[in-house]
Structure 1
Amino acid sequence: MLKLSQLGLIISASALAMNINVIQAAEMEITVTNATKGIYFTPLIVAAHSGDVRMFRLGESASSELEAMAEGGDISGLSSLVGNAGGVVVENPASGILDPGMATTFNLDSGDMGYLSLSAMLLPTNDGFVGLDSWTIPSEPGTYKASLYGYDAGTEANDELASSMPNPPFITFGAGGTGVETANSNNTVHIHPGNLGDSDNAGGMSDLDSSSHRWLNPVATITIVVK
């Protein structure tokens, strides 16, 4: 028969083992799929990080690093922000633009970081981005799936004019739009309302084609295999 002191030792050892399982590194295979018809993702930034770091937070003002990503696809600031805080960063796993309907798969070792985030600008939008905010990395191996939403950084009015957003050669813009919005009505990070667009290639409110550039949430899926 076990003595009480021996039983306590076993319980303590088991608790320690459970704690080790919680904080041990998680090797993950991650697949991000662009689930839209005509919206493109700029190079993704994906990171494992501590609870003290956030790429973005719903309802709060965007950082300058987030603004640079959401308006121009520049992930260098966010990469430095997370990396300097000890996070594990994967930049541009798709090796460029992630086209509609396409997916990218890559590996990430979270080290001792407990949360996963990602972002990329949505093209064409003024300051829209696909995002995952501080998803808790499971300690149990398995396959986890989620839908990802498009967010508005709240840093620019959604006028949908070609002069207000990047103009990559793979997107055909209209011209002569008067602007869907003339002022920014919400200057915090919020759920993006989606593009409106129109069918007038030489006028109307928007320079975006409603037949291909209009979208609703969600905009992507993510599958995470924790090994």
Structure 2
Amino acid sequence: MKKCTQLGLAITSASLLLGAGSVNAAELEITITNATKGIYFTPLIVAAHNSDLVMFRTGQTASAELEAMAEGGDISGLASVIGNAGGVVVENPATGILNPGVATTFSMDSGSFGYLSLSAMLLPTNDGFVGLDSWKIPTEPGTYKATLRGYDAGTEANDELAGSMPNPPFLTFGAGGSGVETTVTNTTVHVHPGNLGDSDPAGGISDLDNTSHRWLNPVATITVVVK
């Protein structure tokens, strides 16, 4: 019996690495739009793969590679593991940060693989990321649309303190927050509850601004044109 392994292929038939029995090669035009008011996406990683390979899965513990992406925006580990397992990887199609309200469009040859996944860290969050988990690529040409949720990697408490998150120059943090959370309450990947923030730039419970850094799901849209 085959089993699904996070960022790893089950030891079954070697033909699975080549996508035997998958859909025919498809040329995809993909558009990802940041649908938030004040949340930024770090460089995206997009992958085509077969059913035995997953980038993340809700209810499962995050891999070290997913943790690095969700806490610091580092997609190199995910790219290496997926690429080494035979998947097709597109790294950083937006050539940097994807700003709120901005879209990026790129082409991707999915090869013989039938599933599409993506992720990118949400800034500012502790370990939040936008994600698409093993979306089945349609076999019929056409335009397909979906919304994307923000997920919590379950690897870091959502304290919302500036010292616990990347601090790029385009973000303005408050200071003196006491911390929204002190411990991780769910250690598996799960749907993110969103930032809480506060309105006190020099104190309060959070160093995030609730007028710009507060968000609820969904956080993005994706349009896939199968040619």
Same fold (TM over 0.5): yes
Letter aligned with residue 187 of structure 2: N
Kindly provide the CA deviation profile for residues 87-141 of structure 1, in whole angstroms up to 9, marking residues without a partner as x.
Answer: 1100000000000000000000000111000000000000000000000011100
CA deviation string 1:184-219 (max 9, x = no partner): 100000000000000000000000000000000000
Could you tell me which residue of structure 2 aligns to residue 177 of structure 1? 177
TM-score normalised to the size of structure 1? 0.90
* TM norm structure 2: 0.90
CA RMSD after TM alignment:
1.1
Compare 22-31 and 197-206 and name the one that shifted more.
Answer: 22-31
Deviation per residue, 1:142-180 (Å, 9 max, x gap) = 000000000000000000000000000000000000000
Partner of 2:158: 158
Alpha-carbon separation, structure 2, partners of 1:131 and 1:21: 26
Q: In structure 1, what is the equivalent of residue 41 of structure 2? A: 41
* Structure 1 or 2: more helix by fraction: 1
Match of 1:30 in 2: 30
Tell me which amino acid in the other structure corresponds to 1:178.
S
Question: Percent of counterpart pairs with the same letter?
Answer: 80
Partner of 1:196: 196
Does the aligned pair in 2 maintain the 1:37–1:100 contact within 8 Å? yes
Output the CA distance in 2 between the equivalents of 1:106 and 1:82: 19
1:124 aligned residue: 124
Q: Which amino acid aligns with 2:70?
A: A
Name stretches of at least 5 consecutive residues in structure 2 with no aligned partner: 1-19
Partner amino acid, structure 2, of 1:147: T
1:220, 1:21 → 2: CA distance? Answer: 31
> Superposed, which structure 2 residues align to 1:68-217 within 5 Å?
68-217=68-217
Q: What SS does the aligned partner of 1:80 have?
A: helix
Please give the alpha-carbon distance, in whole angstroms, between the structure 2 residues aligned to 1:23 and 1:207. Answer: 47
| Larger Rg computed on CA atoms | 1
Q: Aligned partners of 1:85 and 1:95: how far apart in 2?
A: 24
| Aligned equivalents of 2:134, 2:224: Cα separation in 1 | 14
8 Å CA contact retained: 2:22, 2:113: no
Query: C-alpha separation between the residues in 1 aligned to 2:67 and 2:196?
Result: 22
What amino acid is aligned across from residue 57 of structure 1 in structure 2?
R
Offset, 1:22: 6.1
Where structure 1 has 5 or more consecutive residues not aligned to the other structure, the ranges are 1-19
- CA distances 1:11-69 after superposition (whole Å, capped 9, x unpaired): xxxxxxxxx99621010000000000000000000010111111100000000000000
What code does the residue aligned with 2:87 have?
A: G
Cα separation, 2, equivalents of 1:170 and 1:105: 23
